[in-house]
A and B are shown apart, each in its own frame.
Chain A
């Protein structure tokens, strides 16, 4: 077996993906609707070392995070800073957190930034699917 089929397959995947994106732009009002599918990909590459949707790891599990009070999971030991921040996770607060956790809640323990606003929007769109 040579490498060819892999390449062909992945190119096909990619153009199919582009088609889907194009279609979703056509259907959704506002051309830059956040992309939860892309958000999941980013999650699986950048968040997955510390988080999972359904298991507490180095960081807390994420199912139900949107709408939840920061640091309120009973079975995860959040930092005092996050527990007492009085923050509820929504699009706005998640965006600020991901852009600069330490700037948003000084004394937090995550220390991992997502600098690109589109990446953040897509991640948040994915987190919203974890109901």
Chain B
């Protein structure tokens, strides 16, 4: 049921198995994207820099939570391949986001927000209520859509345009994750344009 092929009139392949199978091997290592920006902030006043660091630290909090949410999903025993492999890949993206944010915060002279305990995340996300693969995917989809919207929403608050662009790139990763998860859940795609960020 969950995995089926279909080709829409547009010729877009929405083969869920293909979407989930596409665990890429090519990707930037965390090191390659370690510092994502912040050149304008470096030149800006201390208070402008600190304001940008605050936003990055809230973003870092989201990434810590996402990493732990996928960890809870992976350890739950509820995910089967190819969903499990995809979840692990998405977790890898979030780890790369985390590493990049930590490096950028440090470059700007800030102190990166600490990760909480797995127990804290499990409680906050009500992990005890997850009973099957669909529940895990629903939680992941909700967090990914929320994260995409959160990143898009904070873009105008950055003093540094380079960091604003970074938030846009992070949002694009989260929107990509959401699309794959929604497809795996068999949900219809948004019929209206501009469904993210507002």
Which residues of A line the B interface, CB within 8 A? 1-3, 6-7, 10, 44-50, 52, 55-59, 102, 109-113, 115-116, 119
Residue among B8, B58, B145 making CB contact with A111, cutoff 8 Å? B58
Name the A residues within 8 Å of B65 (CB-CB): 57-58
Interface size class on chain B is 20 to 34
Q: Given A3-B6, A10-B188, A113-B153: A58 and B146 within 8 A (CB)?
A: no
B143 interfacial contact with A, CB 8 Å: yes
Could you say which of A46, A102, A113 has the most chain B C-beta atoms within 10 Å of its C-beta?
A46
B154 interfacial contact with A, CB 8 Å: yes
Sorted from nearest, which 6 A-B pairs have the closest CB atoms? A49-B146, A58-B61, A55-B124, A111-B157, A49-B150, A48-B146
Q: Do A1 and B188 have beta carbons less than 8 Å apart?
A: no
Name the A residues within 8 Å of B198 (CB-CB): 46, 115-116, 119
Q: Do A49 and B124 have beta carbons less than 8 Å apart?
A: no
Interface of B is mostly: helix
CB of A57, distance to nearest CB on chain B (Å): 5
Q: How far is the CA of A11 from the CA of B103 in the complex (A)?
A: 47
Residue among A44, A46, A56, A58 making CB contact with B62, cutoff 8 Å? A58
Q: List 17 A-B contacts (CB under 8 A).
A: A3-B6, A10-B188, A44-B142, A46-B153, A50-B62, A50-B146, A56-B124, A57-B61, A58-B61, A58-B65, A109-B57, A109-B58, A111-B58, A112-B150, A112-B157, A113-B153, A119-B198
Name the B residues within 8 Å of A2 (CB-CB): 6
Interface of A is mostly: loop
Name the B residues within 8 Å of A56 (CB-CB): 124
Name the B residues within 8 Å of A102 (CB-CB): 157
